[in-house]
Every structure is written in structure tokens, then in C-alpha cells.
Structure 1
Amino acid sequence: MNLVIQSPEPLGAAHVKPLIALARGSQAQPIDPYAVRILDANPAQRGDVEAYCATHALDCAFVRPRLALSDFGLVAMDMDSTLITIECIDEIADFCGLKAEVSAITEAAMRGEIKNFDESLIARVALLKGLDADALEHVYIERLRLSPGAEAMLGAAQRAGLRTLLVSGGFTFFTDRLKARLGLDFTNANTLEIVDGKLTGKVVGEIVNASVKARTLRETCEHLGIPTSRAIALGDGSNDLEMMGEAGLSVAFRAKPVVRAAADVALNHVGLDGLLRLF
């Protein structure tokens, strides 16, 4: 396998020799100032490599040699805390003084401690009842930020011919705007009910939970005429695991431990453009 090592800072040469030794690799090829590819790495050494990288705030990934971005046809992304840096529902709740309460539920759900995502979402949205819908626009303009490397990653994927899917347990108010802003091909998310300019505390229609995310990826691949093995899926929370399990390459981005453990690749320190250095 190839072993790709990445750093958010220029990668010091002092790390290369010990990593070649730990991985039982043959040689190192620089990718750019922030990354190096070690050839002929032994994936049986994953534990030692991961321990070294964790100590030095590096990201590591064992990948198949000659793997190309153009081998894939779809990149599917979670939104909150993946494509963007915030959890939108937590920021909306801040406008009615309930951010701490809602954030605690969100965090527990993403860690996999709350097994019923539908119930947790319904409970959180219910707390927003009566909030002026203008709060959504304030969150989008004032607080929503793309994750580091998001635009570079998406641009490269689009140039390589991949289609893009944003599938979220969050809300269409935000996915629709990001679709237009970033030129995304497909989106699926939850719809907040708004009556007379205020949130009713309810979600309209089917809730986009873990199984719906996975189904959306499958249906999108079917629409594109490609197998799910040609999809890349990126996520951070436990409700992304089923979708990530359907994909040919699963990437945990600054994710919860349960997601990092299940993913093919974990990017804990670098930006979303770290995906590009794997190819």
C-alpha cells in the first residue's frame, strides 16, 4: 500500500525516516510541503503508524497505489461539522437562549449515544418553536463558514468529473444556499416548518436520518449509473456511518471516535483538501 502522511504545517523531514521504518516502507515521495507518500508500506503496521501520527498531530492513510480521483464518480458529504464548521441547529437555538441544551443533545447524537436520531431531532426542533424565522438567515450570514479546504476539494472533484451530493440531518434552508453557492449537483436535508414567519417546532416530511442518508447515496449512484463503490463519502457523526459504509471510500473528517474507527481514512488535522493528497 501507499501510506500518505499529512500535516497542517509544513511536514518536517525529521518525521520521514521514522515513518518509513514504522511502516516498513521502501521510500518516500514528497507530495507538497505538507504531505509525503511512503511506498510499499505494510498496512499491518497501521497501529504503530497511527500512534506516531497521533503523538505528532499528523494524519495518515493507507491507500491503494495508483488510486485516482477520477476513479470515482460521486463525492457525498455531510453538512454540519463536515462541509461547514458549525452545527446549524445549535446556532439557531442560540437565538432563543437554548444553545447549551440543544448542543448537548446534538453532541450525544453524533457520538452515537442517542440511538434514535429521529427522536433527538424532533426534540431539538421542538425547542425552537416560536422563534422568528429570520434567525436562520442570521445563522447563514453571520456564523456559517466552510470547513478549511472545502472549496479546493470540491473544485478538484468537479474538474475530475465527479458529481457532488450534500446529504444532511440538518436543514434545507442551509443546503439549498450551499448548493447554489458551491455549484453542487444534489442535496437532501430536513425541512423546518415555518408559519407566519415563525418556526413551529416541527419538521415537514421524511426525516433525513442515517438510513435515509445511505439510501440517498445509493439512489444518487443509481441515477448516475455508477456502482456505490465509485462513491466517496465524508462525514463526522454516527448518523453518517451507514452512508459511509455504502461508499467505496469513506472519510472521517474531524469526526467522533466511533466514526474514525469505522472509516477507511480519518482526517483529524488537515482540511478537506487533504482528500486530494490521497490520489
Structure 2
Amino acid sequence: MSFDVICFDCDSTLSKIEGIDELAVRIGLGDEMSELTNAAMNGEVPLEAIYERRLSLIRPDRDSIGWLADLYIEQIVDGVKEVFDTLAAQGKELYIISGGIRQAILPLANYLGLSEAQVHAVDIYFNEDGSYRDYDRNSPLARSGGKAEVCKSLLNSQGSLVMIGDGKTDMEAKQAGAVVIGFGGVVDRQVVREQADFYSAEPSLVSVLAHIL
């Protein structure tokens, strides 16, 4: 099966980190945050139950988002550039769909040859002095089922869409009629092994190309 629209999660799929957890570690809240993130990614709690809580505890400022943007690129998963170059050369429509912070993901997307319009993630807002103000509370990606909503909007009636990711929120894309490839090369989750249409636990993202092309 060949797909017209190919969507990737970001954290633990394109980059080896979980952005929100890294921001938490930076201010000494690491353990608490990673427990919350894992609970959401394993499907134990709905995303919206923890989204606001995490950001209100961390309150990331503009500087910390710039730091995280660099870290995403520094910790890129093996084979990602090769995968994007291969798919772009074939004229595929590529997107990043993430519950992460959009401003931190955009430089990674740019590095991979994507435009801002090809990135769906959650915007955060700053005060004039660069301190944290709020996040986009209307974003579907800050709640459960949001990735399915975004996939549905990208899927035209004739086309076919595949979503690649490591968490329970990525599996929700099936609700939009997407095929889902679970990527366990960074974090191997049982719930994803069970629910994905295809699964790869290889450390390189190149391993998913066989299922996409």
C-alpha cells in the first residue's frame, strides 16, 4: 500500500526526547513530569487531564523554548533526514502532528525541509518580557482524540494517510481512517504494539519506509 499523506509524531519518534519532560528536568521537576507523560502516552489518563497541569508547573519561557528547539535537532532519531528526503523526492505530503510545543518543533521541521504549514502542534504564548503566559487552549492536540481530528482534516476523499508515532495518542489516528505505524525505536510501549497496524522497534526510523512505500 502506498500513502499520499504521511504524518509523523515528534517526541520519541523524530527526536529521542520528550520535550515537556526535558523542560521539567531543566527546572528540577523531571521525575514528576515523566510519570505524567508516560501515563498519557500509555493511555492510562486522557491527555487533557495532564496538559494544563504540566505547563502551569513548568511555565516555559521564550529562552527555554529556544533551548528545547536546539535539543530536538541535537537528539534527532537515526535515519530521520533520510526518510524525509526519500519521501519528499517522491512528492509525498509530509506533516508533523504533535502534542508538543509548536515553537520548539518548527526549527526541526525547517531542518527536515518542511514549512510552518506542515507542522501541527500546540502554540504557547509569552508575555512581553518573554515569560510564559498561556497555551492555545483551543488546540485539538492538547486533548485526547486530537490527532484523529487533524488527520481527518488532512485526508481528502481520494487519498490515504499514514500516521507514525510512539504513543497511545498516535493510535487515535485510526479513528480518522488512517493506517498507523507504531515506532518503538526510542520507547517500546505495549499498548502501541497491540494497536498499531504495523510496528517497528528498530532504532532507525528508516525501518518504517518498508511499510510506507
Shift of 1:239: 1.1
Corresponding position of 1:7: none
Classify the secondary structure of the residue corresponding to 2:78: coil
2:169 to 231, 239, 242: 239
1:257 to 169, 183, 190: 190
Residue 69 of structure 2 contacts residue 108 of structure 2 at CA under 8 Å; is this kept in 1? no
Flag the structure with larger Rg: 1
Corresponding position of 1:213: 147
1:159 to 72, 80, 89: 89
Corresponding position of 1:30: none
Corresponding position of 2:22: 91
Aligned residue pairs: how many? 203
Corresponding position of 2:32: 101
Query: Cα RMSD (Å) of the superposition?
Result: 1.9
1:73 aligns with 2:4: yes
1:192 aligns with 2:121: no
Judged with a 3 Å threshold, the aligned counterparts in structure 2 of structure 1 residues 234 and 269 are, in CA distance, closer, same or farther, namely same
Residue 93 of structure 1 contacts residue 128 of structure 1 at CA under 8 Å; is this kept in 2? yes
Judged with a 3 Å threshold, the aligned counterparts in structure 2 of structure 1 residues 74 and 264 are, in CA distance, closer, same or farther, namely same
Distance 2:182 2:23 in 1: 25
Judged with a 3 Å threshold, the aligned counterparts in structure 2 of structure 1 residues 177 and 247 are, in CA distance, closer, same or farther, namely farther
Classify the secondary structure of the residue corresponding to 1:216: helix
In structure 1, list runs of 5 or more residues that go unmatched.
Answer: 1-66
Corresponding position of 2:65: 136
Shift of 1:133: 2.4
More strand by share: 1
Classify the secondary structure of the residue corresponding to 1:170: strand
Distance 2:205 2:150 in 1: 22
Corresponding position of 2:50: 120
TM-score if structure 2 supplies the norm length? 0.87
Q: Deviations over 1:236-276 (max 9, x none)?
A: 11111111453553210014211111111111124111122
Distance 1:212 1:112 in 2: 14
Residue 110 of structure 1 contacts residue 238 of structure 1 at CA under 8 Å; is this kept in 2? yes
Distance 1:248 1:164 in 2: 14
Residue 210 of structure 1 contacts residue 239 of structure 1 at CA under 8 Å; is this kept in 2? yes
Distance 1:170 1:270 in 2: 22
In structure 2, list runs of 5 or more residues that go unmatched.
Answer: none
